[in-house]
Structure 1
């Protein structure tokens, strides 16, 4: 696995962990989290930035 792929996998895993914390705290729902993760992948932004741009934060 290349360094870039490894870094991306780690980053995605970290985003998912943070996202599940948001779900547990009741900040967002699972569908909103999924939409934000797709937005992160598309625009390469952070999870909070994606949630904010989608109007969830």
Structure 2
């Protein structure tokens, strides 16, 4: 998979973000730790829960 050169999250970063939220972190805190917006955090969480192939 090609990651956009300006992408804030790599595939492993996305996994860590979702694991933190599902592990009990507030979404805003997990987003801040990853350097992304809360909206982006929820977007990746939603994609993960859908089982979307674009997640990783």
TM-score normalised according to structure 2 size: 0.39
Structure having the larger proportion of residues in helix: 1
TM-score normalised according to structure 1 size: 0.39
Give the greater-gyration-radius structure (CA): 1
